[in-house]
Copies of this chain bind each other. A is one copy, B any other.
């Protein structure tokens, strides 16, 4: 038996909650959590002024959150100003944790992240999953999850949900993988194959990577385009701090944006898609390398050593990315473009031509392109944090499913 699924990407604090006094209370609990979580230790009075409620109201909210184990009282603040010092409140580091899991092409990983955003436990298993069927892979993953959950519980932490990042398309119910080309999977119901008694959410690793960037990235704006390259080339569009999913959940397929409409044929039926120029296979071929095990590492290695063929291949890929991104930037007017996932490691050789192409085709200042600091860790962290965010977004919801 698995618990009911929770929303992978809830629409912010209390969007769909009923507009009754209880709903109001729930939203205000969420506001307190967000304020404390975002702005470090805060006194009740500070929270009150931040969120626009009175000190009295905040007091009762905080009491409730402390009783639920979501907030902690750190003790009196060091008094710098006149007046009675406040009592510092912090998000609990010993309460609920979110479990993040990742099915990579070459590894499995699981971690537990507490409300403060710290990773408290992790487990990794290396080894390719390409071509293996879902059952044994997920059985292994289940083992890792059990280990991490046990470790967390041993520390007194309480796992409240699990989110799984997979390199493929996920159906809207957020439980089943529809297609994962790099694994060779076709319809795998994680709800059934991952027998863990926790609310489960599943999503594309590109999406979780983008969310990690949003939540953890230093200076990442609320409107940006996140480009990664695990399955082909996936982009994730974040608008006003929310992930754009698309009607069928397929948004962000940058890999099949036409770059040279009369170019080589693509598996999608089109011609000259970005993937034909900047996809893993294409770049390896252009660089004259054999597709081996660690494909990205291979490219980065040769490029770093000064292999001119590889560098040219990456330059050309950057140009193609620049063309595709010009279209995307024109359409969406994001505040930034962030290169994440595998692309982050190749950024030094991709960026110059990419930026040049983007600048050349843009009237006025071009959209800034930056590189994710999270790199390949993004998806796993994003998954774990999505559970944590769900708690911050609706603290009452967690407290009630004890």
Residues of A bordering B, CB below 8 Å: 14, 18-21, 24, 27-28, 31, 52-53, 221, 223, 235, 237, 239, 244-261, 267-271, 273, 323-324, 326-328, 330-335, 360-363
Contact = CB atoms under 8 A, between A and B. Distances in A.
A202 to B, nearest CB: 18
Given A237-B332, A273-B361, 13 more contacts: A21-B24, A247-B335, A251-B332, A256-B326, A256-B330, A257-B326, A258-B259, A267-B363, A269-B361, A270-B326, A270-B360, A270-B362, A328-B331
A267 B363 CA distance: 8
A253 B330 contact: yes
Main secondary structure of the interface of A (DSSP, over half): loop
A257 B334 contact: no
Contacts of A31: 19
18 contacts: A19-B24, A20-B53, A246-B333, A247-B335, A249-B333, A255-B330, A256-B361, A256-B363, A257-B327, A258-B259, A258-B326, A259-B261, A268-B361, A271-B361, A273-B361, A324-B327, A327-B327, A327-B331
5 tightest A-B CB contacts, nearest first: A246-B333, A270-B361, A257-B327, A251-B333, A253-B330
Given A21-B24, A247-B221, A270-B326, A257 B331 contact: yes
Given A270-B326, A270-B362, A327-B327, A332 B261 contact: no
B331 A251 contact: yes
Contacts of A254: 330-331
Contacts of A360: 269-270
Given A24-B19, A223-B247, A258-B323, A268 B362 contact: yes
B268 A363 contact: yes
Nearest to A13: B19
Contacts of A335: 247
